Amino acid sequence: MKEKSSEGVRLDKWLWAARFYKTRAIAREMVEGGKVHYNGQRSKPSKLVELNAMLTLRQGNDEKTVKVLALTEQRRPATDASQLYEETAESITKREKVALARKMNALTMPHPDRRPDKKERRDLMKFKHGGNE
């Protein structure tokens, strides 16, 4: 793994190399959209990542807090990429709690076995919109 400890790596490039996002363009959009915080602050995609920096990433329903352990500009296999960072223990427990809550919520609100047919859809629309349709 090629390491660059002297000058740092762009934030969007590091996120891509660490395999948090599939492309650099997506990583850049996430940083610009405020989904990635660097040491608790919103930042730009060109921000230089330093060792031991704390990153907070929002991916869908999950929020991860990771510590930067190594720097690289090259996208490597997932086993190598996982050595670039370490997720904090609080982050792991919080994600597990949220996942459990999401699972419990899905159990209390079951989905129907099939889609409604034409008549059932019309009845639903009538019910939702107060008989206007």
pLDDT in tens, 52-89: 999 999 988 889 999 999 999 999 999 999 999 999 99
Q: What is the DSSP letter of 67?
A: E
Q: Give residue 27's pLDDT.
A: 95
* Percent of the chain residues past pLDDT 90, beyond the cut: 73
Q: How far apart are CA 27 and CA 16, in angstroms?
A: 6
- Cβ-contact 47, 53 below 8 angstroms: no
Ranking 30-39, 57-66, 98-107 by mean pLDDT, the lowest is: 98-107
Would you state the structure tokens that stand for residue 51, as one six-digit string? 């060792």
Q: How confident is the model at residue 5 (pLDDT cuts 50, 70, 90)?
A: very low
Kindly report the backbone phi and psi dihedral angles of residue 2, in degrees, each rounded to the nearest multiple of 5, phi listed first: -75, 120
pLDDT at 97 over 70: yes
Q: How far apart are CA 13 and CA 99, in angstroms?
A: 29
Average pLDDT estimate for 5-28 = 90
Q: Do the bridges between strand 62-68 and strand 41-42 make them parallel or antiparallel, or are there none, so unpaired?
A: unpaired
- Cβ-contact 27, 60 below 8 angstroms: no
